[in-house]
Every structure is written in structure tokens, then in C-alpha cells.
Amino acid sequence: MDLSTLPLVGPLVGGALHLGADLLATLTATLDPVAGPLAAALAVVLATLAVRALLVPLSVLQVRAERDRRRLAPQLAALRKRYGTDTARLQRAVQELYTSEHVSPLAGCLPVLAQAPVLSLVYALFTHATIAGATNTLLEATLVGIPLGHSFVAVLTSPLWVHAWVVVLLLAALAVVVESTRRANLRWNPPAAADGAVPGSAATTAITRWVPFVTVVFAAIAPLAAALYVVTSVSWAAGERAVLRRVLA
């Protein structure tokens, strides 16, 4: 569904697309004398870095929430042992613990939630043929011969497949960062040991292991510009979290 066609939401989405297109076009024009054909791709990267810089306060809250959950881990383990499979009572007890300790379980989601509209905007900017009734010139931008509006899947199924190595490198780099982040998270805040007696615990563990890689799948099917956003954002987040954990530990 194209949200820009909806009666109430459409004008807001259309306005955001127009503003986003103007900002990226201006940044691309500014970078063009230095970056040449890479200007548009570099503009997406710099815009991503700007967004991440603005979200640093939310990232601080996220790491503080992780630190608090780490501190409360022994008490949470005791609650799980006490209530066992009584999910309702366990949830109430955990909520009461978080409330008494002034810990927000949602704080860890704030950077992701804040970025969702921006990522959606980047996705839309490179999938709309027209914006505000004018031809979307962003679709003419390329990275090493690949239009920023093409996904990895589209590249593989077109004559541009000879340039697919560019996207493969991006996806490989993203997979490495995702896995290193997952391992760092486990070292920082180890999960409670799975209880084999609890139905579905093995499946839950397996899902948790592979869910982070959904990001890689998204980057493969999204426009190359959105993939650049994701790779840049995830890489920033990995470095940022490492620094904040040292500072706030």
C-alpha cells in the first residue's frame, strides 16, 4: 500500500517525501564536486550519520536500560524459578520489579522506534517514480553502476548482475556487524538459561539466535539506498554502544 495515496495520511507523507527529496538533492549537489558519481550514495550515508547523532540521547537511555536489566538479572532469575510456567503471575511480578526499580523495559527499543520513520522515508524516496508531481531524479543516482533504487534481488535478475559484488560486500559487512553486535550483547547481558521443561523454549532460543539477521534480509530486498542506510546505522550503533557501555557501566 502506498501511504501517500491515503486521504488523511497522504498530505503528510507527500510533504515528508518532498522535503526529504529536496534535502538529499541539495546534499548530493554539494558533494558532487568532490565525490562525483558517488555523491548521492555519500549523501545517504551522511544523512544517516546525522540522524544517528541526533539519536544519541535515546541510545544513552537504551544502554542505561540494559545496565539496569543486567543489575536486576539475579532477581529476574529468581522470579522465573519461583513462578515457573505461570506466565501471568511471572509477568506481573516482573512488571512490579521494573516499576519499583524505576526501569523502563521499553527504553531499549527507543532508537529503533525513532529510526523507523526515517528508514521508511528513505525507502519511499527510492521507490517513487514521482514526488510532488515531479520526476524523482534521485532514481537516476547510482553506486558503481547500480541505481540506488534497485535492490540486490533486482540487480541479480537484470543485466546489472555483473555489479552485484558491490551489494554482496555491503550485505556481508552488515552480517558481520550484526553477528558481532549479537555476541557483544550476549557478553554484556547474558540471557537466562533456557528451561528445557518449558514448552517452546528451544524454539524461542533458536528464533532469538537468528532474528537479528532479518536486517540482512531486509537490506537485500530493499532499495540500495535503504541498504546503505541500514549498514551505516547498524555500524554506528555497534561502535556507539561499545563506547557507551564503557562510559555508563
Number of folded domains in the chain?
1
Residues 6+ apart with CB under 8 A from 132: 14, 17, 18, 21
pLDDT per residue rounded down to tens, the chain (249 residues): 444 555 544 566 678 888 999 999 999 999 999 999 999 999 999 999 999 999 999 999 889 888 888 888 888 888 888 887 778 888 888 888 888 888 877 777 888 888 899 999 999 999 999 888 889 999 999 999 999 999 999 999 999 899 999 999 999 999 999 999 999 988 887 765 555 544 555 566 677 778 889 999 999 999 999 999 999 999 999 999 999 999 987
pLDDT score, position 204? 63
Which residue bears the cell 548530493?
28
- CA 32 to chain CA centroid, Å, is 28
Angstrom distance (rounded) from CA 215 to CA 226: 11
Q: Which grid coordinates are listed for 70?
A: 543486567
DSSP E strands: which ranges in 64-223?
Answer: 130-131, 134-135, 142-143, 146-147
Inter-residue contact 143 to 224 (CB < 8 Å): yes
Closest to 81 measured CA to CA, from 187, 192, 208, 189: 192
Distance CA 57, CA 239 (A): 15
Q: What domain range is 216 assigned to?
A: 3-248
Is residue 230 within 8 A of residue 48, CB to CB? The reply is no
Classify burial at 175, counting beta carbons within 10 Å of its beta carbon; exposed 0-12, middle 13-18, buried 19 or more: middle
State the Cα–Cα distance between residues 104 and 57, nearest whole angstrom. 15
Instruction: Return all residues near 204 (Cβ < 8 A) that are at least 6 apart.
Output: 194
pTM: 0.86
* Terminal Cα distance for the chain, rounded: 44
Backbone angles phi, psi at 198, to 5 degrees: -85, 125
Q: H helices of 84-159, where?
A: 87-100, 110-125, 152-156
Angstrom distance (rounded) from CA 102 to CA 135: 51
